[in-house]
């Protein structure tokens, strides 16, 4: 079953009974395989039940599932007498529950269940509470049995006779009734059971008292995890002929750990060494595709190890530009042994987990933790408040760190971070010296640098051929370009030296408009069609389109499709190429599907995008890139080049087809200097691309007539 399918795909029955099936195999395991949360309130809960749930719990754990358990411990006669004698009730209840756990360690099957709990406890993904009846000075046992599975959209609630024990799930004759939130016949009851559990958890249920127990149980559970971690045994699922699997040893250290199967390149080791030599501060200026993420996590893992030796914990906060990069980083962090808190979208969705993590670190309950968030969430008050209240060791990692130099974010950088690491292929902010200086002041100087040229020489990136395609502006476009450039020059002259460039200012608007003139030049689409048709049978192609709309059409009130829409239609309909769009409007699930189908090289031959593939998205299979969007901002064209140079199995040289805008052949003398400046901007990009290309001589020959016409041999 697909773990992303959700609870509906498990098709739970309205009830399960021992004489009509197997509660564990038919209900629990399928639900655990797809659920993201499991809440259980029972009279008795034992770790042997976790061993019984076996692979289903492993799947639940691997996906970052959260578990909340409310149970009532077994009170022996001495416990009852102590309560009647006036002993503190809480101490007696905790003692009884701990006694159950300690005894479980001696029973191999139950000990394996505790071993599974060890990972969940270490990662703060399971919580225990104890429940008891408190009425008129009398203490009674809590015997209700309810449970709720959630998958983020739907829930399945159940209640019945089964305790969360091995005998309750297998040995006894049991039955449960199931209620599904998507079935109108069940919805009210499903939601009511869910609310009953929440009321229990928050100690809001009359006649009952509920006590926290996670921290008390933690040391026993971790001891059991250590006992079983190096003693893998066979899971004994119910005797239904199902195959048995060997449990993997549990890493109980709870810190970032470099995976044994991960090859850290020599230059990545050098980057980490340099960062430590600067006392854990600095910027990695590394070309796109050279493994900035792995290098940063290797540095964090080394720091965690150093701190652990002296008994100190570490919180790592990673800030990235977009939500899909949070998910991408979280997958990499999981490979290093920790399930990260993903902080984006609704504050309610992450704030409690993040706060619990910071609390656990502060008390020494947890050794390490990772929180990953977006630039947007990072800058907002809830996240800022969370960070400012943390006083332990903090490592702050900024992916695409140049973004945090923006005026609205650079004042929010956490001053309480003892260790700081910025990652960017181009840390300098374009037209913003103050923002660039703020980044250097905060993170420190460049600790390690690897450009594309060195990365290609070392084999970290693949070689490439560069094919510039010259596109002439038409007369109307050239005239508008001159007008806009004149206005820009006047505003630039009036601009104070280091004033940050506000994208919403008149100058920012004019710069965007001029870029749109070049990006939407009408001659580009026919030229692109010829280039695509030439490579129609090839897979792994990316097309970068210009944003917005053609300025002339927009000003004249002419409604026309966006360049991206036109390219998708041209490639998909006219050229019959399997294509897909990848934009900010594409949902996360659809983005993942597009990249998966693109990478298989069959179902999608080309992906058409704008800026969404600029920062961080990993598409190593890409081999051909068409650059329709023209930009003199080096960050953009360097990132786009790096995106297609990532190494991949079976990949030889990459190809970059760049559409270079030039003045019309009959340009007037009045416009000549403006056109020279336009060409200088375009040629700066061309020369940067050509300098490292395998076919540099071809590019220089192509540009020689233009240089001659405009006297640009000194450029």
Q: What single string gives the DSSP state of each residue in 54-119?
A: HHHHHHHHHTT-EEEEEE-PPPPHHHHHHHHTT--HHHHHHHHHHHHHHHHHTSHHHHHHHHHHHH
C-alpha 114/C-alpha 469 separation (Å) is 64
- The boundaries of every CATH 3.40.50.300 domain in the chain are 266-457, 520-710
What confidence score (pLDDT) does residue 332 get? 92
Tokens of 185: 């016949």
Tokens of 400: 């695409």
Computed from CA positions of residues 58, 59, 64, 66, in that sequence, does the dihedral angle turn out positive or negative? negative
Domain 7-229 fold: Endonuclease; Chain A (3.30.870)
Whether 546 and 580 have beta carbons less than 8 Å apart is answered as: no
What confidence score (pLDDT) does residue 415 get? 92
Tokens of 136: 């008129």
Whether 104 and 50 have beta carbons less than 8 Å apart is answered as: no
Tokens of 596: 């998966």
Strands 314-320 and 446-450: unpaired
Whether 340 and 370 have beta carbons less than 8 Å apart is answered as: yes
- Bridge partners of residue 515, in order along the sequence: none
Inter-CA distances, 473 with 229, 343, 404, Å: 68, 46, 36
Using alpha carbons, select from 220, 39, 225 the residue that is nearest to residue 119: 225
Provide the CA 90 distance to its chain's centre, in angstroms: 41
Using alpha carbons, select from 415, 394, 397 the residue that is nearest to residue 304: 394
- Domain 520-710 matching CATH 1.10.1610.10: the answer reads no
- Residue 603: its H or E element: none
C-alpha 176/C-alpha 25 separation (Å) is 14
Computed from CA positions of residues 707, 708, 712, 715, in that sequence, does the dihedral angle turn out positive or negative? positive
Whether 382 and 351 have beta carbons less than 8 Å apart is answered as: yes
What confidence score (pLDDT) does residue 238 get? 30
Whether 421 and 284 have beta carbons less than 8 Å apart is answered as: yes
Using alpha carbons, select from 643, 660, 631 the residue that is nearest to residue 548: 631
Q: How many CB atoms lie within 10 A of CB 118?
A: 26
C-alpha 282/C-alpha 276 separation (Å) is 9
What confidence score (pLDDT) does residue 254 get? 67
Burial of 517-554, coded b for 16+ CB within 10 Å and e otherwise, reads bbbbbebbbebbeebbeebeeebbbbbbbbbebbbbee
C-alpha 613/C-alpha 437 separation (Å) is 27
Inter-CA distances, 634 with 82, 301, 498, 519, 630, Å: 75, 32, 19, 15, 11
**Cβ neighbours of residue 654 under 8 Å, at least 6 residues apart?**
462, 463, 464, 465, 622, 623, 624, 625, 644, 645
Three-state SS at 234: strand
Whether 419 and 280 have beta carbons less than 8 Å apart is answered as: yes
- The boundaries of every CATH 3.30.870.10 domain in the chain are 7-229
Inter-CA distances, 99 with 47, 58, 534, Å: 13, 26, 74
Query: Which residue's entry shows tokens 């080394």?
Result: 302
Regions of the chain where pLDDT drops below 50: 46-55, 107-113, 162-172, 228-253, 668-670, 715
Tokens of 183: 């079935």
Threshold 0.85, pTM exceeds: no
The architecture of the domain spanning 266-457 is 3-Layer(aba) Sandwich (3.40)
What pLDDT digit, counting tens, does each position of 306-338 carry? 988 888 899 999 999 988 889 889 989 999 988
Backbone angles phi, psi at 15, to 5 degrees: -155, 160
Q: How many Cα atoms occupy the beta-carbon half-sphere of 682 within 13 Å? A: 30
Using alpha carbons, select from 458, 425, 496, 479 the residue that is nearest to residue 642: 425
Strands 146-150 and 155-160: antiparallel
Query: Which residue's entry shows tokens 């290609």?
Result: 456
Tokens of 495: 């601009």
């Amino acid at each position: 079953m697909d773990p992303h399918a959700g609870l509906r795909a498990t098709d739970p029955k309205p009830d399960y009974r021992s004489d009509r099936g197997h509660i564990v195999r038919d209900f629990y395991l399928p639900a655990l395989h797809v659920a993201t949360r499991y809440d259980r309130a029972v009279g008795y809960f034992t770790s042997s039940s976790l061993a019984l749930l076996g692979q289903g719990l492993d799947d639940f754990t691997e996906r970052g599932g959260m578990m909340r358990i409310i149970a009532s411990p077994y009170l022996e006669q001495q416990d009852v007498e102590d309560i009647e004698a006036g002993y503190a009730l809480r101490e007696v209840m905790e003692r009884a529950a701990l006694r159950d756990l300690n005894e479980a360690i001696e029973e191999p099957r139950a000990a394996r269940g505790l071993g599974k709990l060890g990972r969940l406890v270490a990662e703060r993904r399971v919580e225990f509470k104890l429940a008891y009846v408190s009425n008129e000075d009398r203490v009674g046992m809590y015997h209700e049995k309810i449970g709720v599975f959630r998958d983020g959209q739907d829930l399945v609630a159940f209640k019945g006779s089964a305790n969360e024990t091995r005998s309750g799930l297998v040995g006894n004759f049991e039955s449960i009734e199931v209620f599904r939130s998507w079935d109108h016949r069940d919805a009210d009851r499903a939601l009511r059971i869910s609310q009953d559990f929440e009321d229990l958890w928050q100690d809001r249920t009359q006649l009952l008292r509920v006590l926290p127990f996670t921290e008390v149980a933690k040391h026993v559970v971790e001891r059991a995890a250590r006992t079983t971690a190096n003693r893998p045994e066979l899971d004994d699922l119910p005797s239904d002929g199902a195959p048995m699997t060997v449990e993997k040893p549990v890493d109980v250290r709870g810190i970032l750990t470099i995976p044994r199967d991960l090859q850290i390149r020599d230059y990545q080791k050098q980057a980490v060494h340099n960062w430590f030599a600067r006392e854990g501060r600095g910027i990695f200026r590394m070309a796109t595709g050279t493994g900035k993420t792995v290098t940063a996590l290797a540095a964090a893992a080394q720091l965690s190890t150093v701190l652990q030796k002296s008994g100190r914990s570490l919180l790592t906060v990673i800030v990235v530009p977009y939500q899909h990069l949070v998910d991408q980083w979280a997958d990499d962090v999981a490979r290093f042994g920790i399930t990260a808190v993903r902080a984006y979208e609704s504050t309610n969705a992450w704030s409690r987990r993040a706060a619990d993590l910071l609390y656990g670190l502060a008390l020494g309950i947890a050794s390490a933790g990772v929180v990953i968030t977006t630039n947007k969430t990072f800058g907002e008050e809830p996240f800022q408040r969370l960070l400012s209240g943390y006083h332990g060791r903090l490592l702050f990692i900024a992916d695409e760190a140049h973004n945090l130099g923006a005026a609205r974010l650079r004042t929010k950088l956490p001053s309480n971070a003892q260790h700081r690491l910025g990652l960017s292929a181009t840390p300098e902010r374009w037209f913003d010296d103050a923002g660039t200086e703020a980044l250097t002041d905060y993170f420190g100087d460049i600790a390690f640098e690897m450009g594309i040229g060195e990365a290609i020489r070392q084999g970290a990136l693949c070689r490439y051929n560069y094919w510039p395609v010259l596109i002439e502006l038409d007369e109307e476009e050239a005239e508008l370009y001159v007008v806009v450039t004149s206005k820009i020059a006047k505003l630039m002259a009036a601009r104070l030296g280091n004033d940050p460039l506000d994208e919403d200012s008149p100058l920012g608007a004019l710069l965007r408009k001029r870029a749109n003139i070049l990006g939407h030049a009408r001659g580009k689409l026919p030229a692109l069609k010829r280039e695509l048709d030439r490579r129609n049978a090839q897979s792994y192609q990316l097309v970068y389109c210009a944003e917005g709309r053609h300025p002339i059409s927009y000003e004249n009130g002419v409604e026309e499709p966006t360049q991206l829409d036109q390219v998708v239609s041209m490639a998909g309909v006219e050229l019959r190429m399997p294509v897909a769009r990848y934009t900010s409007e594409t949902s996360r699930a659809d983005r993942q599907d597009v990249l998966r189908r693109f990478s298989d090289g069959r179902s999608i031959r080309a992906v058409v995008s704008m800026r969404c593939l600029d920062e961080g998205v990993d598409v190593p299979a890409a081999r051909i890139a068409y650059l329709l969007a023209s930009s003199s901002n080096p960050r953009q064209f360097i990132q786009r080049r790096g995106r297609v140079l990532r190494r991949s199995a079976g990949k030889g040289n990459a190809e970059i087809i760049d559409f270079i805008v030039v003045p019309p052949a009959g340009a007037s003398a009045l416009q000549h200097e403006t056109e020279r400046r336009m060409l200088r901007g375009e040629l700066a990009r061309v020369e940067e691309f050509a300098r490292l290309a395998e076919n540099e001589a071809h590019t220089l020959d192509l540009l020689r007539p233009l240089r001659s016409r405009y006297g640009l041999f000194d450029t």
